[in-house]
């Protein structure tokens, strides 16, 4: 049984979120939503928490979307084999509605920003880094899906660039309970000098 909804022992959140903090919400889109080809069962449970953070700081929210290629051969190396297996999610076959943000979040754009990415990490390429630098961002608050894939890649990318990273533990989700639990344990136990763990209520209290 997953421990995803149980209180965590580590409480390292330092608070103090101001107008230089950015809420980076990862891939909360139809692909992973109800009825999507990569449906993640927890998305509906996490969505109210993610929405509350995005509403609190809509102008400081960046939504990422995972956008597959039109055809497998448009991607390099092992990505081609990956999309030969997942051919139904390539854009030649996928209903484009599945690429859109979930309706509860889509209504916040604008002022929230949408950033598309072809791989797991939104730090691939320069657009996100340029946007964060333009905003003089110093904190990245991370929510979204999936904890052990795109969320993990996002967190490690932010760490590599030296940002203060806050993972909202009750506002990330995965289709793998084991993977979700393992990643949160890893982040809390191994990367405490660079990553803070928080709950949604703490973020809302700090981000007034």
pLDDT range class, residue 3, cuts 50, 70, 90: low
Q: What is the mean pLDDT of residues 180-199?
A: 90
Distance in Å from the first CA to the final CA of the chain = 35
Residue 191: per-residue pLDDT: 86
Q: Where are the domains of the chain?
A: 21-69+102-206
Q: What is the mean pLDDT of residues 40-56?
A: 95
Residue 6: per-residue pLDDT: 55
d(CA 35, CA 181): 24
Say yes or no to pLDDT of 82 above 70.
Answer: yes
Say yes or no to pLDDT of 162 above 50.
Answer: yes
Considering the chain, what is the average pLDDT of its residues?
93
Percent of the chain with pLDDT over 90: 87
Say yes or no to pLDDT of 1 above 50.
Answer: no
Residue 21: per-residue pLDDT: 97
State the fold for domain 21-69+102-206. Rossmann fold (3.40.50)
Residue 192: per-residue pLDDT: 83
Helix residue ranges, H only, the chain: 43-56, 78-85, 103-106, 127-134, 152-160, 177-190, 200-206
Residue 33: per-residue pLDDT: 95
Residue 190: per-residue pLDDT: 86
pLDDT range class, residue 80, cuts 50, 70, 90: very high
Q: Which residues of 144-180 are buried (b: 16+ CB within 10 A; e: fewer)?
A: bbbbbbbbbbbbbbbbeeebbbbbbbbbbbbbbbeeb
pLDDT, tens digit (0-9, with 9 covering 90-100), for 18-44 = 999 999 999 999 999 999 999 998 999
pLDDT range class, residue 2, cuts 50, 70, 90: low
Residue 105: per-residue pLDDT: 98
């Amino acid at each position: 049984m997953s421990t995803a909804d149980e209180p965590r022992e580590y409480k390292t959140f330092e608070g103090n979120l101001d107008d230089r903090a950015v809420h980076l919400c990862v891939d909360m889109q139809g692909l992973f939503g109800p009825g999507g080809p990569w449906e993640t069962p927890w998305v509906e449970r996490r969505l109210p928490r993610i929405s509350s953070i995005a509403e609190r700081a809509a102008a400081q929210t960046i939504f990422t979307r995972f956008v597959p290629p039109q055809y497998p051969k448009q991607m390099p190396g092992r990505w081609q084999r990956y999309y030969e297996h997942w051919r139904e999610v390539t854009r030649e076959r996928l209903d484009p509605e599945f690429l859109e943000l979930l309706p509860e979040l889509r209504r916040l754009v604008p002022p929230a920003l949408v950033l598309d990415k072809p791989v797991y990490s939104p730090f691939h390429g320069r657009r996100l880094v340029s946007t964060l630098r333009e905003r003089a961002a110093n904190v990245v608050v991370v929510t979204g899906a999936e904890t052990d894939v795109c969320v993990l890649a996002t967190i490690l990318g932010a760490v590599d660039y030296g940002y203060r990273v806050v993972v909202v533990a009750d506002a990330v989700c995965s289709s793998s309970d084991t993977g979700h639990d393992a990643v949160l344990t890893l982040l809390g136990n191994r990367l405490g000098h660079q990553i803070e763990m928080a709950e949604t209520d703490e973020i809302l209290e700090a981000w007034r």
